[in-house]
Amino acid sequence: MLYIETLIQAPVDQVWRYTQDPARHGRWDLRFTRIQPYGSPGQFRYATRLLPGLTVAGTGQSTAERCRPDGSATSALRFTCDHRLSLIRAGHGFWRYQATPNGVRFWTGYDYTPGWGRLGPVADRIFRPAFGWATAWSFDRLRLWLEYGVPPERSRDRALVEVAVRLTLVVAAAALDHRLALLAVPLVGLVPPLPGTPAARRCRPRRYRRTTTVHATRAAAR
């Protein structure tokens, strides 16, 4: 099961709105190109564009949500995808919101069943860490939006510019001397992104005991 956590300096109600509203969610979450509500309350459709003209789509359902007197909240969901190219067939997870003196502790835990038959578990060894990275990067993108008012589209553009600059430095070093390139690659990788650029390293995946997962899931279902 994947767990990602971040701390956002914003009111709990605001974090809740920006994560529960499908239109806003689709803007900051790198894992999805579009999220739209449909059918009964809590149901939604999601889509991820793999290539121009190639989109993988699935459906989800918010199975439970709970807001407590102290302002903390939990939301649980299930999702499925029947597209043959999707490595994710079905899954479930939760979002937790906890007010602290330093901001909102916002974290998620989710798991899924791989598709692709016998090849699925093998491919998932690469896909799962990448999916966790995308979740962490998206959480920091959300944090920048709520704390500094940086629209997700702008933070995405900043990230692309930084990646281009880093690659340019490596290519320039390689053009001068291949030994410089060997030195430039780790240095470029270790330099942290600018404060206004999303970074997965700011909210690395966390490990929780299984009892924590069970408690969160049961709390959401009550």
Phi first, then psi, for residue 52 (nearest 5°) are -55, 120
Q: Are residues 141 and 104 in the same domain?
A: yes
Structural domain boundaries enclosing 187: 151-195
Q: Are residues 51 and 86 in the same domain?
A: yes
Q: How far apart are CA 215 and CA 94, in angstroms?
A: 11
Q: Are residues 143 and 175 in the same domain?
A: no
Residue range 59-95, pLDDT digits in tens: 999 887 888 877 789 999 999 999 989 999 999 999 9
CATH of the domain at 57: 3.30.530.20
Sign, CA dihedral 215-11-145-78, equals positive
Q: Are residues 73 and 136 in the same domain?
A: yes
Q: Are residues 38 and 72 in the same domain?
A: yes
Domain-embedded: residue 200: no
How many separate domains does the chain show?
2
pLDDT at residue 214 above 70?
no
Q: Are residues 183 and 137 in the same domain?
A: no
Q: Are residues 56 and 105 in the same domain?
A: yes
With cut-offs at 50, 70 and 90, classify the pLDDT of residue 18: very high
Domain-embedded: residue 78: yes
Minimum mean pLDDT range among 4-13, 60-69, 189-198, 201-210: 201-210
Q: Are residues 90 and 176 in the same domain?
A: no
Tell me which H or E stretch contains 46: strand 43-51
Token pair in block for residue 199: 């970074």
Mean pLDDT to the nearest integer, 125-152 = 96
Q: Are residues 29 and 135 in the same domain?
A: yes
Contact 104, 8 (CB under 8 A): yes
Q: Are residues 131 and 159 in the same domain?
A: no
Give the DSSP letter of residue 174. Answer: H
Q: Are residues 100 and 51 in the same domain?
A: yes
Contact 116, 123 (CB under 8 A): yes
Quickly list DSSP for 17-41: HHHHSHHHHHHH-TT-SEEEE-SST
